Amino acid sequence: MTRLSVNINKIATLRNARGGELPDVLKAAIDCERFGAQGITVHPRSDERHITRKDVELIRPMVTTEFNIEGNPTPEFIELVLKHKPDQVTLVPDDPNQLTSDHGWNTIKHKVFLQNVIANFHEAGIRTSIFVDPDIEMVEGAKATGTDRIELYTESYAAEFSDGKEAAIKPFVEAANVANEIGLGLNAGHDLNLDNLKYFAQNIPGLLEVSIGHALVCDALYFGLDNAVQMYLRELRGE
């Protein structure tokens, strides 16, 4: 079954909006695993508007499934990752002023840069994944960087799903087929939710992992965190 990694950024956003320690981000990470999540994802940004460097330090030794740190590979980010050695690092081409991730890497233009960063992480024994759009040229370019996996940026799928799910998923199926053929592991994430997740998981060949945060945390406001995690797991199982 495709693994569920819960991105807990939005829990940290809520905490930071008020200050103090509520909600407890570390407890949320532990609880998500206890409720069945097979991984925890954090996306620390330079302004620490949600996940902080201190959060990463506290969460790392408590995660017993898979710890994934994603972000823009600035020198500060690279230092953070090498210090805490997650199971996986996902490289995202974020601008500091972006509200959220909104595009994948140009793996051809940034090939040498990505090769150097990925080699650095591989030397430390950290699996790498890079954020890419469902573009065959970019998927093929990702292979040349030496990355272990790609993470398909699924915002366009989510946006177009209600207008026609077959058309919305078509470029992702094509990209996944190429990734499988050339030996890249396959992750996905961004705007996947209870409406569109099952169809995506059932139709993307070789999908290893999805990272879901915003929608799952929103659903947890209504259903509770335990129930929300279970609901997403059921979608991935095709129930």
Kindly list the catalytic residues.
Answer: 43, 70, 190
222 CB neighbour count, 10 Å cutoff = 8
User: CA–CA separation, 114 vs 73, rounded Å?
Assistant: 9
Q: d(Cα 175, Cα 167) in Å, to the nearest integer?
A: 14
Pairing mode, if any, of strands 185-189 and 207-212?
parallel
Asked if residue 68 lies in contact with residue 40, where contact means CB atoms within 8 angstroms, the answer is yes
Structure tokens at 89: 């690092």
- Rounded-to-5 percentages of helix, strand, coil across the chain: 50, 15, 35
d(CA 81, CA 85): 6
Element (H, E) at 174: helix 165-182
